[in-house]
Structure 1
Amino acid sequence: MTLESIDRHHQEMLNNGDAWRRKPALRAIYKTFHQAIARHLAPLPLPTVELGSGVADIQQVIPGCIRTDIFPNPWIDQVENAYALSFDSGSLANLVLFDVFHHLRYPGTALQEFDRALAPGGRVILFEPCVSLLGRLVYGVLHPEPLALHQPIQWHAPPTWNPAQIDYYAAQGNASRLFLNANRAPNLAGFRVVATQRYAAIAYVASGGYSKPQLYPTAWLPLMTAIDRLCDHLPQLFATRLLVVLEKPA
């Protein structure tokens, strides 16, 4: 990990923490996202782990969820590398990746590690940007990270690659490319896709997220939520968020 990557992450977390504290609408929206994730958890008597935990506190909805990141932060429980988890084989019920999958340069290599750590019947739950007509605008024009829709996805790391060599990578369109097009679905290391769900999440987009100004008064959040429910019926046009559930065979 380069010093530049560490500095970038540290500054991003500082900025995100400030936005999280001053935006009650953002906190409420994240709670609904976490509730959507919680509905798909595998009901196994084993730990659930979130990889790449940002400042949003998933433990408010999923008590006991182990929060992790590749960098130490005051709000996480332990440092973890998605490509080389410290957990014993077959010891986890769920792995939650919120806006993390599109940062995995070698997603197939990461899934092999997830398969090792999860118990039979365990699940990987991804919550990612979604590429619809609106999603292309939001993530292709208004977001600094690339969609990379036409860039090849390198599924596996080279044989000589070391997990400690992870560097910054972003391709926001990867989940949509892989899981919303049956012709592109790769070998998922034994996992099967048990659910995909697209959300308009316009309330989130218009909240400005962590880095942009909020475009509506917080008191309008119920109205924005109602608009989202309507727009959810036209995901090709309006979806900006994608939930994907992968399950390890029992």
Structure 2
Amino acid sequence: MLADFLREPLLDKIDVDSTDRMTAHEEILNRKPMIREVFSEIHRLMWTLSRQYLDGSGQDIEIGAGVYPIKRSYPSVLATDVVPSASIDRVMDAQAMDVPDGSVRTIFGQHCFHHLPQPEKFFHELQRVLVPGGGAVLVEPYWSPVASVLYKRLFASEGFDKTEQNWNSSASGAMSDANQALSYVVFKRDRQRYDRMFPSLPVVHQAPLGNYLRYLLSGGLNFRQLIPDGLAPLVKGIEAGLSPVNRWIALHHVLVIRKAKD
């Protein structure tokens, strides 16, 4: 299969749920300036949106921070993950956060929401830990026609099922058995159900991201890079030209959830 050929050789025979995956991802990241630039752009976007849509005083925390946490761009953000590594500050489960009630201004999450086995527990935790006016900024796989085709074919350890009726998953580890279409299921297909269950956590912003070509051509953290880094500026210009059709071809989207003030 094409996906097998493109897969990053360093990840061969590595358990994706182990700390070995974090070590391998760190090595891959260090030799890929293009994906580091993409991640840094996402950091800036998430931070900007948190300042635009959220308010109140409290701690900024990233869940599922992985090997390139947002604190690399904004050092005040506490980096947490369920898998220990040198990149994070604390091991913490986003479904049972070890922080006081009403103490958090922003929860950031990059590509981690779909790995939560019981997302309703996460939403209940948002209600508990966030200050009024605070919220969550999440970047997740998008549901464009292009994304819907690619995600079903690229990831052996994760699925992309828009028809899955259950929000919960039987995920056996931090990375495996996730449904990458979870944000579509919860925030698009089942939006009325979400709004009914969590009226104090409205979604106040949602938009596709525009750096999908560089993300794809860089190989991310799991696949081989397909073009030299010197072509990144050219690809970035192409992305800008394609922005009017992002809704049809984007691979990721960002959404902001804000806790009601009363």
Aligned counterpart for 2:37 among listed residues 28, 48, 55: 28
Query: Are the counterparts in 2 of residues 130 and 176 from structure 1 also a CA contact under 8 Å?
Result: yes
1:153 matches 2:161? no
Shift of 1:40: 1.3
Residue in 2 that maps onto 1:196: 206
Residue in 1 that maps onto 2:112: 100
When normalised by structure 1's length, the TM-score is 0.87
What are the superposed Cα offsets for residues 194-220 of structure 1, whole Å, 9 maximum, x if unpaired?
100102411111110011111111111
Secondary structure of the residue aligned to 2:162 is coil
Rounded Cα–Cα distance in structure 1 between residues aligned with 2:226 and 2:166: 35
Residue in 2 that maps onto 1:207: 218
Q: Unaligned regions of 5+ residues in structure 1, if any?
A: 1-5, 158-164
Query: Are the counterparts in 1 of residues 19 and 84 from structure 2 also a CA contact under 8 Å?
Result: no
Matched AA of 1:192: P
1:171 matches 2:171? no
Query: Are the counterparts in 2 of residues 199 and 232 from structure 1 also a CA contact under 8 Å?
Result: no
Residue in 2 that maps onto 1:137: 149
Rounded Cα–Cα distance in structure 2 between residues aligned with 1:12 and 1:231: 34
Aligned counterpart for 2:244 among listed residues 224, 233, 237: 233
Rounded Cα–Cα distance in structure 1 between residues aligned with 2:236 and 2:57: 34
Q: Unaligned regions of 5+ residues in structure 2, if any?
A: 1-14
Shift of 1:183: 5.2
Shift of 1:49: 0.2
Query: Are the counterparts in 1 of residues 105 and 130 from structure 2 also a CA contact under 8 Å?
Result: yes
Shift of 1:156: 11
Rounded Cα–Cα distance in structure 2 between residues aligned with 1:235 and 1:36: 16
Task: Provide closer, same or farther for how the CA distance between residues 202 and 169 of structure 1 changes in structure 2, counting only shifts above 3 A.
Answer: same
> How do residues 34-113 of structure 1 correspond to structure 2 at under 5 angstroms?
34-41=43-50, 42-113=54-125
Rounded Cα–Cα distance in structure 2 between residues aligned with 1:54 and 1:88: 23
Secondary structure of the residue aligned to 2:30 is helix
Query: Are the counterparts in 1 of residues 218 and 227 from structure 2 also a CA contact under 8 Å?
Result: yes
1:125 matches 2:134? no
Secondary structure of the residue aligned to 1:245 is strand
Rounded Cα–Cα distance in structure 2 between residues aligned with 1:141 and 1:189: 36
Secondary structure of the residue aligned to 2:34 is helix
Rounded Cα–Cα distance in structure 1 between residues aligned with 2:246 and 2:166: 24
Rounded Cα–Cα distance in structure 2 between residues aligned with 1:117 and 1:217: 44
Query: Are the counterparts in 2 of residues 109 and 156 from structure 1 also a CA contact under 8 Å?
Result: no
Query: Are the counterparts in 1 of residues 205 and 255 from structure 2 also a CA contact under 8 Å?
Result: yes
Query: Are the counterparts in 2 of residues 177 and 184 from structure 1 also a CA contact under 8 Å?
Result: no
Q: Percent identity?
A: 24
Query: Are the counterparts in 2 of residues 111 and 189 from structure 1 also a CA contact under 8 Å?
Result: no
Shift of 1:153: 2.4
Task: Provide closer, same or farther for how the CA distance between residues 33 and 83 of structure 1 changes in structure 2, counting only shifts above 3 A.
Answer: same
Residue in 2 that maps onto 1:9: 18
Query: Are the counterparts in 2 of residues 178 and 184 from structure 1 also a CA contact under 8 Å?
Result: no
Matched AA of 2:233: P
Query: Are the counterparts in 1 of residues 95 and 116 from structure 2 also a CA contact under 8 Å?
Result: no
Shift of 1:229: 2.1
The CA RMSD measured in Å over matched residues stands at: 2.3
Rounded Cα–Cα distance in structure 1 between residues aligned with 2:83 and 2:23: 13
What are the superposed Cα offsets for residues 230-250 of structure 1, whole Å, 9 maximum, x if unpaired?
323213321101101000011
